[in-house]
Amino acid sequence: SRVLVTGVTGFIASHVAKQLLEKGHTVIGTARTASKADFLKKQFTQYGDKFQIVEVKDVQHEGAFDEVVKDVDVIHHIASPFHFNAEDPIKDMMNPAVDGTINLLNAAYQHGNNVKHVVITSSVAAIAWAAKPGYTFTEKDWNDETVTEIQKWKPGQEFSRFTAYRASKNAAERAAWKFRDEKKPKFRLTTINPGFVFGPCIHYIEKPDDINTSVALLFAYFKGQRQDVQPPAPNQGYVDVRDVAEAHVRAVERGDKADGERFITVKGSFTWQQVVDILHKRFPEYSKRIPQGEPGKNYETACRTSGQKATDILGINYIDLEQTTVDTVNSLKQFW
């Protein structure tokens, strides 16, 4: 089939494209950054015309996706800001996330005559929020408090960049389900809600500052740029990017079973202490610069997030923390 992948030059989206190409699909990716698009085209030359890139500069532009949806069967909407540098939480985070999602869904609804399934990359950031000791977050949970908090923000005031990101994911996903309830489109809709995503980078990274947010957090420990191995966060789930990509692909293959469903993709909880312990074990020649923390301690988080539903329905057999950590670091050899 012909599959549209928005933001194809990103960390997760490039893996979704790769898995689709390996399965013989034609992938039309949208991109806004030419250097990243050129790099990915070179990575996928073996697929010839089966991999195409269309420039979509501004996902917030009404009608941005009207043309690209016209002859596709499936859409993976992955483009959305993920960083902690927002200066304005509404303009920099909320609006691109929500408007991008709505523009995409409207395009599919009005112009995507062949579209059968839309998969949207949401996040655990739309689900978990306050520390609830002993609690396990599931697909039933929503952190609407984050949106309320960000909507109260006035220019000039301080705000949490983490809350701004969470609010953007919550609001975008809520908007997608509301769209479905109101418009009753003929296509299926599924969201994939990953925890912290690590794993090999196959997208273009020109310089260390460009490493995508989740991988950059981990890689900073390997480089010795993050020294404090903080006490465990209340809730922190991880997943490998290859499992996240597989969940996107499988959701479409499962058809009706995945329709109207959100799927958390999380292998398990982790703490940065576990990550640095793995780094010492597997990269001993770099031990000097990697922080020690308290080896073997602080492996527990106060609450958890369950990725069981993605195993049960999508058949995801998750990669573990050691493998994902090692593969992340090995994929960034040019920056060692």
Do the Cβ atoms of 102 and 175 come closer than 8 Å?
A: yes
Residue among 112 and 194 whose Cβ is closer to ligand NDP: 194
For residue 293, state whether it binds ligand NDP (rule: CB under 6 A): no
Total of chain residues touching ligand NDP, rule CB under 6 A: 24
Of positions 39, 44, 81, 104, contacts ligand NDP by CB under 6 A: 81
Closest contact distance (angstroms) between CB of 294 and ligand NDP is: 25
For residue 33, state whether it binds ligand NDP (rule: CB under 6 A): yes
The count of C-alpha atoms lying within 13 angstroms of the C-alpha of 29, restricted to the half-sphere facing its C-beta, is 32
For residue 200, state whether it binds ligand NDP (rule: CB under 6 A): no
The span of 39-47, 141-149, 192-200, 247-255 binding ligand NDP (CB under 6 A) equals: 192-200
For residue 270, state whether it binds ligand NDP (rule: CB under 6 A): no
Binding mask 120-159 for ligand NDP (x = CB under 6 A): -x-x------------------------------------
Q: Which residue has the tokens 């312990």?
A: 277
Closest contact distance (angstroms) between CB of 9 and ligand NDP is: 4
For residue 80, state whether it binds ligand NDP (rule: CB under 6 A): yes
Of positions 103, 143, 146, 214, contacts ligand NDP by CB under 6 A: 214
The count of C-alpha atoms lying within 13 angstroms of the C-alpha of 260, restricted to the half-sphere facing its C-beta, is 7
Instruction: In whole angstroms, give the CA distance from residue 70 to residue 292.
Output: 53
Percentages helix, strand, coil for the chain, rounded to the nearest 5?
Answer: 45, 15, 40
At 317, list the tokens: 């057999």
Of positions 96, 199, 268, 293, contacts ligand NDP by CB under 6 A: 96
For residue 29, state whether it binds ligand NDP (rule: CB under 6 A): no
Q: What residue number has its CB nearest to ligand NDP? A: 10
Of positions 3, 4, 5, 10, contacts ligand NDP by CB under 6 A: 10
Residue among 266 and 303 whose Cβ is closer to ligand NDP: 266
Angular region, 7: left φ>0, alpha ψ -120 to 50, beta rest: left
Task: Name residues whose C-beta falls within 8 Å of residue 154's C-beta, 6 or more positions apart in sequence.
Answer: none
Q: How far is CA 160 from CA 93, 106, 147, 164, 226, in A?
A: 12, 31, 12, 6, 20
Closest contact distance (angstroms) between CB of 197 and ligand NDP is: 4
- Burial class of 272 by CB neighbour count within 10 A (0 to 12, 13 to 18, 19+): buried
Residue among 82 and 129 whose Cβ is closer to ligand NDP: 82
Q: Which residue has the tokens 């398990």?
A: 268
Instruction: In whole angstroms, give the CA distance from residue 325 to residue 222.
Output: 10
Do the Cβ atoms of 139 and 186 come closer than 8 Å?
A: no
Q: DSSP code of 53?
A: E
For residue 273, state whether it binds ligand NDP (rule: CB under 6 A): no
Site for ligand NDP, rule CB under 6 A: 7, 9-13, 32-33, 36, 59, 78-82, 96, 121, 123, 169, 194, 196-197, 212, 214
